[in-house]
Structure 1
Amino acid sequence: MNRRDFLGAAALVPLAPAMSAPDWTGLHRSLKGTLVRPGEAAYDRSRRLFNPAFDGVRPSALAYCETAQDVAACLAFARRSGLPVTARSGGHSYAGWSTGTGLVIDLSRMNGVAYRSGTATIGSGARLMDVYTKLAKHGVSIPAGSCPTVGVGGLALGGGIGVVSRKYGLTCDRLVSVQVVTADGRMLDCDAARHPALFWACRGGGGGNFGVAASFTFRTHRAHELAHFSLRWPWAKAAAAVAAWQDWAPGAPDELWSSLHLLRDKEGLSVQLAGTYLGDLAGLNRLLGRLTARVQPASRVARVVPYLTAMQIMSGGPGLRTTFSAKSHMAYRKLPAAGIAALVAGVARPGRHAVLLDALGGAVGRVGARDTAFPHRAALYSVQYYADGTSRTWLRGVHGELRAHFGDHAYVNYIDPDLREWRSAYYGQNAARLAAVKAAYDPGRIFRLPQGV
């Protein structure tokens, strides 16, 4: 951030006034949207996140904002009252930090999707499958994830690993501009020329740190038909499948993306591979042949489908609420034989859990580590550890064993309350610059996540 950016932003932040008792009636009257308080019929439903593990959190109120002006009114209220404030787009924070005991700013009504001349302007609260569906009518899309109910705001602000990222980049790599409501209530249009430091931070710096993102404008890509595929191996071939996949997937042509899953569920242990290929079946079969020549699958399915259908398949269903715990790594190097053995043995332990390896490389790796706030450009793949329920015992065990091989790199969108050195794990060499942006645009730290910049 340059000196002019820093001084220009900081000079406009007013001194904090003396705190006053919350004027809920005044806030209600100032909103175009809806304010929900404890005791109201909608309260219990409104306060729930995607993960039922956090159903015990009881906010003082939830404001369903319909405009950026509503967001600004909520932030002014929070400054006056001294109440903590939390922004929520989809409510998918792994640590439950899409809610809190103060005021929750819910952006789900700010969910518009508009397309024009190669760009899409999308409200922060738009859910991913709705975005795919609406853009498909124009024959376009943006690179994004697979969870159908995740909010675009949180996804893009943390980077946005998705199912066509190797071809088109992360979600944040397609960002043209973002409208941010800052702690002092300003509504800033940020891009490469206007508030460039804040724009940089909004591409991988994580949600809830610098302001409330109201809307995003993305460059779209054409949404052609593509091939979807899935393979399965018996558990006896788990180690061989991991070894072959990590040699194959990160260096494949950009058009190919895949995710390797090692699972222990009610049906037992399994190894599954799912992916997409932006091409025809002949090309896909040639590429899959390089993998299956090393480790023959028990089953294999591949077909060409419309783009939207592929996104629906990859979503795995409607995204029902389910209780889980999670951790992550970013893999900068391949697992050696000892690491593969630890991974396979960890998944084989009793319980219901999974480890998901999502291929990176391609377009993701051709952006500089400091060009956006997302630092993990050299990672070969991401690693997600999931466990059913709220116990973190299995997670901590297997994550700790794999740490010897993966190091301390983690993905901020898979936020992990266990991490001690989370600044370096999430942000690497970009942590200091993010702290400077925070100091400029939120010097009073209105936005206070437990792992906030």
Structure 2
Amino acid sequence: MERRRFLTVAGLAGLAAGCTDESPASVPSPTVEATGGAVTPTGPADWEALGRGLAGRLVRPGDDAYDEARKLYIPRFDRVRPAGVAYCAGPEDVSECVAFARRQRLSVAVRCGGHNYAGWSTGGGLVIDVSPMNAVQAGGGRATVGAGARLIDVYKGLTDRGVAVPAGTCPTVGIAGLALGGGIGVVSRRHGLTCDVLEAVRVVTADGRVRDCDARRDADLYWACRGGGGGNFGVAVQFVFRTHPAAEVTLFSLRWPWPRAAQVVGGWQSWAPYAPDELWSGLQINTDPSAGTPTVDVTGAAFGDPDAHLDRLTAAVGADPAFRSVDTHSYLEAMRRVGGCADGGIAACHRAGTLPGGRPDGRYPRTEYTAKSHVATRPLTGSAIEALTGRFTGGNGVAGRSVLLDALGGAVGRVRPGDTAFPHRNALFTVQYLAGTGDRGWLRDVHGAMERHLGGAAYVNYVDPELRGWQRAYYGGNYERLVRVKNAYDPDGLFTFPQSIG
């Protein structure tokens, strides 16, 4: 994981959230992850007509740009070969693609950054890519952001105007997938989730209509777009967010020796969800074969001096850290650091490529990994902590194993569970389990060991294709209302994937 590489180099373990937040896509498949899918044959003239009807660009098999166009962030999905990738220049292009897919009875995949864990932002049919719609504007306490904007461009475009919106950390994630699934980040405890500051969203629905949704217009669809998961109800093309001032951010990092790991987990969970709103923190456990033992770190971000708060953490742990670092940065610099691209200019925060969403000089790497998650609504017991740390003690020789605990509470917890589609308002923290794709046995083992302690809730933007009971785990008591919205705006199930609502 890029997050892990950055943490090792910069000593800021736990800050850069995994590149995860992306809207699911539609792909009919008997398997749990993306495959080529079954495609209804269409004649060359059909595709040629679609290409002529777009203001953007249609890329097809055999085109020079096809190999670049078909690839997602995670390389294992390179085997999937879409019948066409449409880079939509505006809502009208999306409407054209929706109409084409309905006529030809093609599967539809919706894509922005392409970070979906299960590969559901690709498929064997038509991929609708919103990357060209990436404009970022701000004024009067509001930001208007195209659905194709990557997070680094959102941060850069807004901080140039002295403002920001609460967002995620991986710089190449698309704003659409992040916001539609909730949007957890390092300023969430102070400013709320990304979906909490979403005031309006423009969506192209399955009937091809372009709908401007807010609390008064298509209010149910607006509600569903605030945590109901991308790819379920239509294609989002533009967002309007409330902004906050882009103040300086202090980043901190603390590391304890591995024998203190259980104390660190216990002390952190008694402190982090209840800290003042201006402070966010995460705890990360990694295997580190080069160090001889796993590592345990607490890192975070604060508005203002965090030293007194960190002293309270140290007291809660009951032992001084072996390493402690505190540095203050501009808002943009802080977001680049937590995203793992502080060095090398803005190009280091972009994926390489010549198509929309990439830059010819981009250097942000693609990464192979797989993941699972829990959302913790109660503290871990002593036996739960032992079960968690014990999964690392015997396997430190295998690189790439991580567990990330990210604090919630603060502003996130002051919204009622039914006010938005994101239901986890009483949660203390999220837990994300990461491993290399060839290490799924360990991943299933650690997730299964924690299921009896934390089972019942998971984060939809950390989508898990193996998750049983995902309807309740992702959406809690909001699921029935989401089904009603789905039936109202997509009654024929054009936007369908293995864990789609409905």
Q: TM range, normalised to the smaller chain?
A: over 0.9
Structure 1: gaps (5+ residues)? 1-18
Q: Percent identity?
A: 56
Q: What is the aligned partner in structure 2 of residue 14 from structure 1? A: none
CA distance in 2, matches of 1:131, 1:266: 37
The 10-residue stretch of structure 1 (361-370 or 267-276) with the greater mean CA deviation from structure 2: 267-276
Report if aligned partners of 1:256, 1:278 keep a CA contact under 8 Å in 2.
yes
CA distance in 2, matches of 1:301, 1:225: 17
Q: What is the aligned partner in structure 1 of residue 49 from structure 2? A: 26
Report if aligned partners of 1:347, 1:355 keep a CA contact under 8 Å in 2.
no
TM-aligned CA deviation for residue 296 of structure 1 = 1.3
**Equivalent position amino acid for 1:257 in 2:** W
CA distance in 2, matches of 1:444, 1:347: 46
The 10-residue stretch of structure 1 (322-331 or 345-354) with the greater mean CA deviation from structure 2: 345-354
Which of residues 286, 289, 294 is equivalent to 2:311?
Answer: 289
User: The residue matched to 1:267 in structure 2 has which SS?
Assistant: helix
TM-aligned CA deviation for residue 346 of structure 1 = 1.3
CA distance in 2, matches of 1:295, 1:387: 29
Which of residues 366, 370, 376 is equivalent to 2:418?
Answer: 370
5 Å-filtered alignment, 1:53-452, equals 53-268=76-291, 269-279=294-304, 281=305, 284-293=306-315, 294-317=318-341, 318=349, 319-350=364-395, 351=398, 352-452=400-500
CA distance in 1, matches of 2:470, 2:116: 15
1:350-378: CA deviations, max 9, x gaps? 22210000000000000000000000000
Report if aligned partners of 1:244, 1:295 keep a CA contact under 8 Å in 2.
no
CA distance in 1, matches of 2:89, 2:320: 53
Report if aligned partners of 1:119, 1:220 keep a CA contact under 8 Å in 2.
yes
Structure 2: gaps (5+ residues)? 1-39, 342-348, 350-363
User: The residue matched to 1:249 in structure 2 has which SS?
Assistant: helix
TM-aligned CA deviation for residue 20 of structure 1 = 8.4
TM-aligned CA deviation for residue 292 of structure 1 = 1.2
User: The residue matched to 2:423 in structure 1 has which SS?
Assistant: coil
CA distance in 2, matches of 1:41, 1:111: 24
CA distance in 2, matches of 1:242, 1:380: 13
CA distance in 1, matches of 2:331, 2:324: 20
TM-aligned CA deviation for residue 267 of structure 1 = 2.9
- Deviating above 2 A after TM superposition, structure 1's stretches of 4 or more consecutive aligned residues are 19-22, 265-268, 347-352
CA distance in 2, matches of 1:157, 1:394: 30
TM-aligned CA deviation for residue 189 of structure 1 = 0.2
CA distance in 2, matches of 1:385, 1:211: 30
CA distance in 1, matches of 2:96, 2:246: 38
Report if aligned partners of 1:85, 1:104 keep a CA contact under 8 Å in 2.
yes
CA distance in 2, matches of 1:433, 1:306: 41
CA distance in 2, matches of 1:229, 1:321: 27
TM-aligned CA deviation for residue 421 of structure 1 = 0.5
TM-aligned CA deviation for residue 229 of structure 1 = 0.6
Question: Do the aligned partners of residues 233 and 175 (structure 1) sit closer, same or farther apart at CA in structure 2, a change above 3 Å counting?
Answer: same
TM-aligned CA deviation for residue 392 of structure 1 = 1.7
Report if aligned partners of 1:323, 1:390 keep a CA contact under 8 Å in 2.
no
CA distance in 2, matches of 1:390, 1:271: 23
Report if aligned partners of 1:140, 1:220 keep a CA contact under 8 Å in 2.
yes
CA distance in 1, matches of 2:432, 2:70: 26
User: The residue matched to 1:63 in structure 2 has which SS?
Assistant: strand
